[in-house]
Amino acid sequence: MNRRKQIYEGKAKVLFQGPEPGTIVQYFKDDATAFNNKKKGTITGKGVLNNRISELLMTRLGEIGIPTHFIKRLNMREQLVREVEIIPLEVIVRNIAAGTLSQRLGIEEGTTLPRSIIEYCLKNDALGDPMVTEEHISCFGWATHQELDEIVNLTLRINDFLCGLFQGIGIRLVDFKIEFGRWYNGDDVRVVLADEISPDSCRLWDMKTNEKMDKDRFRRDLGKVEEAYQEVARRLGILPESGPGDMPGSKAMQ
């Protein structure tokens, strides 16, 4: 880890300079935070699982033509990604009412929404990631109209694809957060899916029992957090039936 120059340390990941210009190494930590950093903890093995889960989801999305920053997984906790300029928005997609939507609007948690909703929050921890509208986004130049159109198109495709993928393994995709970046490639600039998609950034409920299989187990002290992340990975087919102990190099889980 010390070989490379650290570019940035976030709550759940560290970014290092990549081996070639225009590349970055994303290192996944076990650290977990919630409620805008007010709650902190560790979920053992989370970084390893999120690295694998995000790799799988980004790869599948790439296969259906969604441009992503993902290049390849390097090892248990690291993946190589394209360097992008992050668009400072958290794009939230909701299929079922939960979390802040239920709190703000009094919609009972678990209500299936008649249509999927996209919300935007400004990425700004000091302000608590406030929700913003397209008006704010274009007024303050966080993204252009054209970029927002692209973001909406990609987000709806990502949502449809991921809903189906999770349904196939008995999981309801309640809501999730994604981020996009601008990838400068010569004279060309493209909006690409960036960051990660994992149980840290999704609400995933078991279809039969409605049990939560995501970071809400940590946020709400529900216990069995590690087990929930492992179960998502197992159903996605990236964890041996017998658990993470059987993964090559499993000592890196600790």
| Minimum separation from the CB atom of position 37 to ligand CDP (A) | 10
DSSP code for 128:
T
User: What is the pattern of x (binds ligand CDP, CB under 6 A) and - over residues 63-102?
Assistant: ---------------------------x-x------xxx-
DSSP code for 130:
-
Instruction: Give me the residue label for tokens 């998502």.
Output: 232
| Minimum separation from the CB atom of position 11 to ligand CDP (A) | 9
| Minimum separation from the CB atom of position 226 to ligand CDP (A) | 17
Q: Which of 13, 77, 82, 177 binds ligand CDP (CB under 6 A)?
A: 177
Cβ-proximal residue to ligand CDP, closest one:
99
Q: Which of 175, 179, 195, 231 binds ligand CDP (CB under 6 A)?
A: 175
- Give the start-end residues of each E strand in the chain: 6-9, 13-17, 23-28, 31-34, 39-42, 70-73, 78-82, 85-86, 89-96, 112-122, 131-132, 171-185, 188-194, 202-206
The interface with ligand CDP within residues 180-239 (CB under 6 A) comprises 201-203, 215
| Minimum separation from the CB atom of position 10 to ligand CDP (A) | 11
DSSP code for 127:
G
Where are the alpha helices (H) located in the chain, listed in sequence order?
Answer: 46-63, 99-105, 134-139, 145-167, 216-219, 225-235
How many CB atoms within 10 Å of residue 168?
10
Site residues for ligand CDP per CB under 6 A: 90, 92, 99-101, 129, 175-177, 201-203, 215
